[in-house]
Amino acid sequence: MLNKIYIFIAVIALFSVSNTFAQEHNEHVVKTISHDENKKHIDESTHHGEKLNLKDQIKADIKHHLQDSHDFHIWKNIGFPLPVILWDEGLHVFLSSKFHEGNGVVESNGKYYAISHGNGHIYKTDASGEIEHNEKGYETNDKPLDLSITKTVFMIMITALLMFLLFTSLAKSYTKNGGIAKGFGRLMEPIILYIRDDIAIPNIGQKEYKKYMPYLLTVFFFVWFVNLFGLTPLGINITGNIAITFTLAIITYLITTFTAKKDYWKHIFWMPGVPTPMKFVLAPIELLGTLIKPFSLMIRLYANMKAGHVVLMSIIGLMFVFKSWIGSPLSFGLAFALSLLELLVAALQAYIFTMLSALYFGAASEEHEHH
Amino acid sequence: MDALLNEFSVGLFIWQTLLFVGLIFLLKIFAWKPILNAVEEREEGIRKSLEGAERAKQEMQNLKSDNEKILKEARAERDTLLKEAREMKESIVSQAKEEAQLQANKLMEQAKTAIQNEKAKAITDMKNQMGELSVSIAEKVVKNELSNKDKQLQLIEQLLNEVTLN
């Protein structure tokens, strides 16, 4: 029964998300085309035009913020370049600052690369650095395999390092202190216990929960920390990145599939307790359900975090658009309230991801005695 | 969907997979296992201590009730002892009284018998003396009476009459 509900929700979520993105994208295409022109005209524009340009600039900023980047940009001109690592019939390694020299084209071992304004990815180009777009506004150039340490990868590394230091120090403090945690890691102990007692054990069961604990704990803290980093002024939008949530979802899917017991597959392919013709109908639905479950995990986290960032940055942007004594404090207050809400969302999304993963693991490792 | 695919970065996917899976395994070995083990150990310890305390409490209660029982028994024993002593005293006293009564009775009896004997002896004595006295008196009277011959004959006659009558 629960499975059906999930499928239903996932299908609805899928349609609504793809619709909004289609609309959003159409707007983006127009904007990216006009973006560069706007910048050129910014000095000579009228008062009315300036306001319009500001709005466009805010939109472009938001879009830029949501994307992964090959530079680590902190404030205005402060930041540092990150290494670009490409595999394109050979290894190409150079610093991203090279893109800012000349006309944005980098030549490496006889090949030319440029960054697209559309999605921030590196494409293969000719010497002029021209990137072709199709009628929908998507880049048509070939992509090299981009293994660059991007801003997102850099922050993931930092998060991973922080997590490792935090939790190993917590682990050590137990042995040092005779079973009682000490230090900053102590704050995390109730959360670890919560995940064990209220997420893992009720959903998976006392017998099987232990083998899933490392993944559940890691994914919860990773998503939570990364979401929180996204709320700092650095504003690194990691979980609002489809590749990240895809990775997390696919790991959940793989763990579910490879730890699944006989009963799990039996319930998918030959549902017990329903008439035989229904079994044939249910099998494809159930099979599709196994894929839709992780897919919904991926979309949920991605859409929530991305939407949160878009709304929050839009409201912050409104402060500069209003430029009045009423509007700006109002949007400041709104942005503040929304930031608090986003703090909750950061934890909530981590919780939901962990909770649902545990639920799927529970379904996979469940054993029915009465069939 | 196209927008999502356009946004998808294979490189990021590869990095995230490598870093995240690495993180899972590193944390599993160096953090989660020791943390969960320590927490479990601690919980086990707490559970055991609580059980121990409960047991101690139970034992204490048992001990207390045992003490009470022993006290009660001792009190009961004391009471029975006292009762027995009282009974014994009473019986001894009554026995003594009885014995004394008996002795007294016996003494009285003996005294009575002695008195009776003495009385009988005295009576016999008196009888004898009175006999002797009366004989001597009679002797004197007879002596006196029989001083003249007439009287003697008269008496003999009288006596002879009496004998024939018998």
Per-residue pLDDT for chain B (166 aa), expressed as one digit of tens each?
A: 777 777 788 888 999 999 999 999 999 999 899 889 888 888 899 999 999 999 999 999 999 999 999 999 999 999 999 999 999 999 999 999 999 999 999 999 999 999 999 989 989 988 888 888 888 888 888 777 777 788 778 878 888 888 776 5
Q: What pLDDT is attached to residue A325?
A: 79
**A142 and A241 fall within a common domain:** no
DSSP A116: -
Q: How far apart, in whole angstroms, are the C-alpha atoms of residue A263 and residue A268?
A: 9
Q: Which of B6, B144, B77 is nearest to A143 (CA)?
A: B6
**A116 and A158 fall within a common domain:** no
Residues in chain A closer than 8 A to B46 (CB atoms) = none
**Assigned domain for A2 exists:** no
Q: What pLDDT is attached to residue B26?
A: 93
Q: What pLDDT is attached to residue A163?
A: 92
Q: What pLDDT is attached to residue B102?
A: 93
Domain count, chain A: 2
Q: How far apart, in whole angstroms, are the C-alpha atoms of residue A113 and residue A359?
A: 45
**Assigned domain for A18 exists:** no
Where among A117, A149, A181 does a domain terminate?
A149
The pTM score is 0.71
Q: Write the CB contacts of B165 (distance below 8 Å, at least 6 apart in sequence).
A: none
User: What's the pLDDT tens digit per position in A321-342?
Assistant: 877 778 788 888 888 898 899 8
**A224 and A290 fall within a common domain:** yes
Looking at chain A, which residue has its C-alpha nearest residue B20? A160
**A145 and A162 fall within a common domain:** no
**A140 and A164 fall within a common domain:** no
* Alpha-helical segments (H) within A85-212: 151-176, 189-194, 201-204
Give the H or E element holding residue A125: strand A122-125
**A166 and A214 fall within a common domain:** yes
Beta bridge partners of A84: A94
**Assigned domain for A7 exists:** no
What average pLDDT does chain A have? 79
Where among A103, A128, A149 does a domain terminate?
A149
* Alpha-helical segments (H) within A126-275: 151-176, 189-194, 201-204, 213-231, 242-258, 262-269
**Assigned domain for A22 exists:** no
Q: Which among A21, A121, A156 has CB closest to B9? A: A121
Q: Which residues of chain A have pLDDT under 70?
A: 1-52, 76, 102, 235, 368-371
Q: What pLDDT is attached to residue B86?
A: 94
SS3 for A149? coil
**Assigned domain for A20 exists:** no
**A251 and A281 fall within a common domain:** yes
**A194 and A319 fall within a common domain:** yes
**A128 and A189 fall within a common domain:** no
**A354 and A243 fall within a common domain:** yes
**A253 and A292 fall within a common domain:** yes
Q: Which among A21, A193, A243 has CB closest to B3? A: A21
Give the domain range for residue A275.
152-365
First-last CA distance in chain A: 17
Q: Tokens 């839709």, residue?
A: A292
**A329 and A187 fall within a common domain:** yes
Interface test with B, best of A169, A222, A310, A354 (most B CBs within 10 A): A222
Answer yes or no: are the C-beta atoms of A210 and A259 closer than 8 Å: no
Residues in chain A closer than 8 A to B6 (CB atoms) = 118-119, 138-139
SS3 for B123? helix
ipTM: 0.78
Where among A100, A131, A149 does a domain terminate?
A149
